[in-house]
Chains A and B, each alone.
Chain A
Amino acid sequence: MEHIFDFSQVTTWFHDLLTLTLGLGDFWAILIECVLVGAAVLGAYSVIAMILIFMERKVCAYFQCRIGPVRVGPWGLLQVVADVLKMLIKEIFFVDKADKLLYIVAPFLVIFGSVGAFCFLPWNRGAHILDFNVGVFLLTAISSIGVVGIFLAGWGSNNKYSVVSAMRSAVQMISYEMSLCLCLITAVILTGTMQVSGIVEAQSGPWGWLIVQGHVPALIAFVVFLIAGNAEANRGPFDMAEAESELTAGHHTEYSGMGFGFFYLAEFLNLFIIAGIAATVFLGGWAPIQIGVEAFDEVMQYIPGIVWFMGKAFLLVWLLMWIKWTFPRLRIDQILKLEWKYLMPMALINLVLMTVVVALGLYIK
């Protein structure tokens, strides 16, 4: 893996530039770095959101035999920019009888849940923002703050449909979190670490990707993770929370302009985060394909890690969009039945299967 570019060279160089060359104190150096990190996160977050919105509209259009946005800009590329501008110049107003505090706090929580989880994604070797030793555990903890946000939004808006939507999304998201956690645990058993960078490193050898290394149990975990993740992001056939034909727009009915924009943004980013985590944990993140043949491996290593990561992530995003625009919406009882009677028992059995595989050394080393 010696050819993979290590991004920490850049960060170390920059830190040295600030402290040694410019002679700044630790406090100022770290402050500047943190501001830059924040700006980078904001930039990446909004750019990816725009790409996803455009992609969703195009993918949806092709699935429905339409051509999608084509008029604004070349190939309709500026459509999303126009949408965002429109959203920004809409008036923000509050419902009179809403629970003001909950109503205002909700978007903050939703965005925090999604930005927090977003920062855990490893873009390249050394290019991750948060890399705790309890990585995936903290990741699930932070991302579930989003549930609270959605619930508060629905409850605070003083709208019966929103309350129903809040209840539905809460019960759905907490239920599917079980399978999500169990699948991550299954992966952690094989990698032996919860640190996100460690998980990727553990998959970087020949035939190292987790779904290859852990064969059957890892493959089952991957599929269950994708289904549960799709439900966790409130998308696809699981979008009970904003079933527009029955609940107007669910929890964000009473939000105008940018207030609604945040929920929209978070939904798309959660889709990317789910795809990104699945790509990181099961498909090797930035690790290139390695098959043990030296010439092939070397060539693959020259492709930058970020290309691998984005490639895998967007492949999964596309898969989830395909699912969304293919299947009809489920009912709430069907959603809960799928989770509690099929996915969770399956994930539990799979966990034991993975333990057996690892304990007896049956995985591909």
Chain B
Amino acid sequence: MTLTLAVLSGFLLALVVPWLPGLERRACGWAMAVLPAGLAGWFATFVPDVLAGTVVRESRPWVEALGIWFSLRLDGLGLVFALLVTGIGALVMVYSGAYMEGRPKNGRFYAFLLAFMASMLGVVLADDAITLYVFWELTSLTSFILIGYAHERAAARQAALQALVVTTGSGLAMLAGLVMVGLLAGGFGFGQWESQAAAIRSDAWYGPAVVLVLIGALGKSAQFPLHFWLPNAMEAPTPVSAYLHSSTMVKAGVYLVARLAPVLGGTVLWGGLLGIAGTTTWLVAGWWAVRATELKRLLAYATASTLGLLVLLIGLGTEQAIGAAMVVLVAHAAYKGALFMLAGAITHATGRRDIRRLGGLIRTMPATGALALLALAGMAGLPPLVNFVAKEAVFTAVWHQPGVWPVLGAIALLGGALGVAAAVRVAWRALLRSARISGPAAGKVVFQELAGPAVLVLASVAFGLWPGSLDGLLSPAVAAVRGQPAELHLALWHGPSAAVLLDALALAGGVAVVVALGPVVRRMAPVERAARFNPERGYALALGGVNRLAAWQTHALQSGKLPRYLRTILAAVAVLVLGTLAFRGGLAWGSPIQDFGIAELALCVLVLAAAVFVVRSDSRLAPSHARGGVGAGVALVYRLGGAPDLAMTQLVVEALTVILFVLVFYHLPRFGLEVGRAQRLRDLGVSVAAGTALALVVLSASAAPLDRQIAREYLQRSVPEAHGRNVVNTILVDFRALDTLGEITVLMAAAVGVFALVRLRMRETPSGGQNGDGEPAPTRLTGTAGQAASGLAGPVGRGERPATPGASSILHAAARFLIPVLVVVSLVMFYRGHDAPGGGFVAGLIAVVALALDLLAHGPDSSRRLLRADPRTLLGLGVVVAAGSGLASWLAGKSFLSGLWLGGGLGAAIGTPLVFDAGVYLVVVGMAMLIILSLAEE
């Protein structure tokens, strides 16, 4: 529990931090350091126990079926890393307070820095491969966000994306490898893996698993050929570079290799891969560190170089090599963390990051310069700093490596010399040489920026003078990596040995490289030219290729042309349906010409003829009226088929649709354009195929025996339970009222959509239809309103309409008599709907016809007056009434929308379903009138 809490505490704080006040102030760095410092202190209390061999474990089931547990353990290796993560974390937080002072996005910055710390703790404490993987990817994600902190700059975005692609991409390979090992071991716990190490190493899948796992580890630790993201990641703010990209996250790969060494290590494949990758990175990155001139990039190359050394040492696997790796780990974290923070302080103060444009800092910025000089001495491995002890341990390990020591010795000499050269070059160019460059006066470096580096430099000196104090911390770590007890005896001076000689040679070589840098660089020129074709170029080519492929594929599939989409969809439907009917069966005929009727034949011919006319006509109005003919024909088919409700509804809808088309089509052009004949034939073929498919499906479906259980149920329950004899209506307002409630909500949405589209237009035109308080002002629109209906409106509309030449006085006269009749019919239809054809839908539509007739005869103002309420009010009221009728039943203790009945009376049963139907009525009137009035008043 306590380990879990230690890991999660950073995440919890990260959730709170963005909302805290005062994050832009310098002092908040100290506040942010409290948690990491506290955790570091807490972890430090475990040192004696761990030295005694205690391992703290915590485990809880996660995905038990797959053998995945959320497990944590604290052993020697985990403890070293946990102390680094939290200790350096605390120093970086303090530094951030000064470095990030006054910046606006600090909430995000601190939150992700804390989240990173928590993720990194999760990585180094995980005792289960999947647990580790999840935290591993979390570090990649937080790193992505922190590198892209200055996301306004393209370079920062690209660097962040590159780091993300490389680390998570290699992380995926690692996941595959971890799953392979997990399948071999029958679980994902590292303890289980260690106990079955021999079996895992002898399996045929061992080789692929090792390669995949190492891709992940080496990508994370910026090893060749996946090293290129690290120098680019220097786009991040300096605290991030100091924390993630020198001392912690990039060491996750080293950690993983060390953690898995007892399971996967000890083979030629393991040692060979790590040796090649580590050696190459050590030397190549070391050379680029000597060549680099920008402070942070130089440090980044040097970091990659040291990581290569660490990977090589773990690959060697001897007790001396692992011991040396642990000391290098600690020493590097101390001097490199300090150097990054100092580099940030120098750039802050001088505004310069290129060592060719810096100089004499030891005089202009004495405190910063002195600390930097000490840290660089540490980097070069001068006594009495701890890196001297580390380098001696490295040379000792190399010297004692059986068999390959001459080769390794030469490599180590070269690698060591390059490291020294980079340090000496920075010390000379930036700090010691006299400042010949007249730059701006050195700015102020605040104490808080130097606190972290000072602590780290002091630690370097202290551990250098008393290296034995590290024995207790590092011995259990070596034991954990080696899988057997180990004892470290570090000392500043072991007496003269081959290692001391090699160290001295490397120092001299490094100084020589700097002195003779010009000639050396000229010698290396052909090699550097050859390196133009490097992995980073490959990455850029691959990424560009993927982007181009995606663009091509999107363009090919997403043409943005509606006809093409429709054709594709329809052709797919036709092929699937016809293919299924042809090859999978299901095609049935039944008795398709049974009870053939001459009336239906006439109607169907009419409908199809009207449809053909709609397709072929090129005029504007004629096809929309012919379309009305289709609707009317279909309505009569409904009537013959025993569906009077459908017939009535369809007919009224057709009348209204014709009015809508008339209102809109006057403003539309003739359709002139058409595609070529071949394309028309192709479209016709696809359409006919789809039509054939639909006809066959309808035939087959009607031939299939249908269980009428549902229909029988409704028919039997309609009269006793729903008190209605029109079963269609009882289904709509009682049995399936919830569906109907959803449907009238859709109607409301459609009407509001139409209203919004029209209003948008009115707002755009300056002559506008809107008065000061944002309400529509229909009275001001009468001038334009008349245009819509001008072709049909009567000459005199109750005195207020201007006479329109050519308008129909017949319509005007008819409207006067028809409107009251229609209103009465509408009310009767509504009232009788429960027992006879009718109901809220059709009754509402008939009322709309009455209002629309008035609109055509007298203009929109008149029908607004006739309606009395705003259609939007009716819409809302209708939905509220319908839902309210359901709530009434719910409050009465029955389920939502089930009917409550007061008993019969007045020729029909009175109950909540009738109220519900009234709601439907109001919604239909509101919807249709909102649409019609919006169009007419435009």
| Chain A partners chain B | no
A residues in contact (CB < 8 Å) with B? none
